[in-house]
Amino acid sequence: MPPPYSHIKVVREEDFRSRIGEDGHYFDLIDFSAIEGFNVPPTMTILRFKEKLTEKFGTPLQCQRLWWWARRQNNTYRVDRPLTTEEENLPVLNTNSLPTWSNMDDALVFLKHYDPGKAQLRYVGLLSVKVASRPSEILPKLRSLAGFCLSETIELYEEIKFEPSVWCEAIDIHNTFSAGEIITGDIICFQKILKPPDIPKYPSVASFLQHVCDQKTYEEVRKVHILEEEIVTLKHQADTYLVQKEKAVTAYDQLKHERDNAVQQVNELRDQSTHIILDFSRKDMEQATEHFKNAREIGDTEYGHTYKGMIHNMKVLIKLSSSQKLFQQEVSILSQWRHPNIITFIGVCSEVSALVYEWLPNGNLEDRIICTNNSAPLSWYNRTQIIGEICCALLFLHSNKSTALVHGDLRPCNILIDANYRSKICNFGMSNLFLQLGTFPPNLTARLPYMDPEFNTTEELTTLSDVYSLGVIILRLLTGMPPLTLSEKVAEALGSDSLHLLIDKSAGDWPYIEAKQLALIGLSCTGMTRKKRPDLLNEVWIVIEPLTRKPPAATWPYLQSASGDSSVPAAFICPISMEIMKDPQVASDGFTYEAEAIRSPMTNLALPNLNLVPNRVLRSFIHGYLQQQQPNPAYQQQLSET
């Protein structure tokens, strides 16, 4: 362990320049709080310490004379005795055991001059006197230091102590220093004697020191009073905070209770029927959007104004339709269609033609492609999944030939992204309201790159029109480039074998084979005529589906199946048979079941109808999952059956 160090403070003569005035700041000789100290080991000698002082202050050894300070019985620190040459080899920390100074004939006193007119007391120097001499003998020296005339009379005082009370006595200049008990380290204050009418408020050193002491006491009392007032204020603030905290906790508990009830009601409604549409009042809409506050508005399109709202402490998306006809058309469509990749429709407010949807926090696909507000770019895996999800949603919309629904305005801005980067289509089935014969759709510049070229001649939208839009979106996700003339650029890159130069590097290390497959199918979808475009199910999905088969590890919640395996994703389990689904089908209640289970008497669900739509995305995930489990014979058998 390193040796313990002691802290020693060294006072030089220039440190004695104390001054006491109206500010009340005062000390006997030295303001020790402003003096620099030295860390000294116990073995350091006085001589070595003097060498350190030479290094610090530049004072040569031969010019140094050290004096030892001591604490007196009245708690003042004064100079006690000098350190002799013979004592320089002693350790610095052992000077407490030094013998009493043998020189009793001389005394080193400190001089302070008091100016009554300025009410100022200041140090002017130190003086070595013979204790057998009289103070009258040093008057010429004092007149010289203060600049007094010979005719001016001087009076002397000994300043004995200042705190906690003043002790200042007049000195008889005709007695010897020894008779007046003046010793080394004492302070002698001198001033000229004033005559009326020049007598100031504090005519003597003693009266001035008493005034300063009183001022100091008053300041301390005032500070104590201020601190007491601050304590009272802080206590009041603390009490107020506790009351506010209790109110906040009560309000939080109430809001949490309301939210839990609302969530429970929503879940119960979903369990009863996915086709129940909640009916909201105008007041509900105004409260949800703070009276349609501008800060709540997040979009303004030809479909209407969209707002971020709060209903029962749950975030929702609220759209004010731009026309009553639009409102009725969308309600009619959304009440009939439900799919995992179509935005969930919650309710309506007929008073203001408002539609309420689920809130999707990651905005629309357009903003994610161009990284609006410096958002992180989508990874190549997320982009592949989004392409598969859009394709699956279109297959769902196009699946029923008698009531096939054409989106007609499939663009990245009409595809929303949820918290898990899953995509959901919105604003579908609305375009036919804009496409009046002989008129141009609104916002044509933004729509044109995604619009079926044959629409210009036929003025008709078909399912192949959606295929064209899908192709442009595939190429955009692949390259990150603007849509205008994008297909020509990709075709040229494929022809010159330079596709790798177009692929969006911000998506990460996109597997080149998969990227080329997407480029080819995207180009195929953007054929100028509908005859040249591929069939969505038999030609497009057959390419895209294998690319979406490998979900990242641990992205599904796990559930134990009836077979006893505890690592099967919950989404793969049929809620009726509790087995891994072989042929997942979306029923009319919006949930996915095994085809055989939903057709068998095993279910007691009262479904509106028995129309089933294949859930091809989920089936591909299950297929990929079962392939990974091939070492397990039970899974090999199930895989062969699928």
pLDDT, position 562: 42
Share above pLDDT 70 across residues of the chain, in percent, rounded to a whole number: 83
Q: H/E element holding 219?
A: helix 205-272
Which CATH homologous superfamily contains domain 360-550? Transferase(Phosphotransferase) domain 1 (1.10.510.10)
pLDDT tens string 225-240: 788 888 888 898 888 8
- Do 6-200 and 360-550 share a fold? no
Q: Residue 58, class by beta-carbon neighbours within 10 Å (0-12 exposed, 13-18 middle, 19+ buried)? A: exposed
Q: Using alpha carbons only, give the angle 171, 173, 175 rounded to the nearest 5 degrees.
A: 95
Residue range 259-278: mean pLDDT, rounded? 68
Q: Go through 583-602 and write b for each residue having 16 or more CB atoms within 10 A of its CB, e for each that does not.
A: bbbbbbbbbbbbbebbeeee
Instruction: Return d(Cα 487, Cα 525) in angstroms, integer.
Output: 10
Q: Which of 96-100, 172-176, 183-187, 263-267 has the lowest mean pLDDT?
A: 96-100
pLDDT tens string 425-450: 998 755 655 555 555 566 777 888 99
pLDDT tens string 551-560: 443 334 444 4
Per-domain residue ranges of the chain: 6-200, 360-550, 570-632
pLDDT, position 271: 54
Instruction: Return d(Cα 79, Cα 81) in angstroms, integer.
Output: 6
Active site residues: 409
The pTM for the full model equals 0.48
Residue 568, amino acid: V
Q: Which fold has domain 6-200?
A: Ubiquitin-like (UB roll) (3.10.20)
The listed range with the strongest mean pLDDT (6-10, 405-409, 426-430, 513-517) is: 513-517
pLDDT, position 459: 80
Higher pLDDT among residues 183 and 472, named by residue: 472
- Residue 486 pLDDT > 90: yes
pLDDT tier, 632 (very low <50, low <70, confident <90, very high otherwise): very low
pLDDT, position 563: 43
pLDDT tier, 393 (very low <50, low <70, confident <90, very high otherwise): very high
Instruction: Return d(Cα 531, Cα 401) in angstroms, integer.
Output: 19
pLDDT, position 97: 66
Q: Which of 271, 288, 427, 273 is nearest to 349 (CA)?
A: 288
pLDDT tier, 608 (very low <50, low <70, confident <90, very high otherwise): low
Residues 6+ apart with CB under 8 A from 545: 388, 616, 617, 620
- Residue 9 pLDDT > 90: no
pLDDT, averaged across the chain: 82
Residue range 355-377: mean pLDDT, rounded? 92
pLDDT tens string 191-213: 988 777 767 778 888 888 887 77
pLDDT tens string 378-391: 999 999 999 999 99
pLDDT tens string 322-332: 788 888 888 88
φ, ψ of residue 215 in degrees (nearest 5): -60, -40
Q: Which of 122-136, 217-231, 349-363 has the lowest mean pLDDT?
A: 217-231
Pick the CATH number of 570-632 from 3.40.50.1110, 3.30.428.10, 3.30.470.10, 3.30.40.10: 3.30.40.10
Q: Which of 499, 505, 481, 518 is nearest to 384 (CA)?
A: 518
Q: Under a CB-based contact definition with an 8 Å cutoff, are residues 346 and 278 in contact?
A: yes
φ, ψ of residue 607 in degrees (nearest 5): -90, 145
Higher pLDDT among residues 538 and 36, named by residue: 538
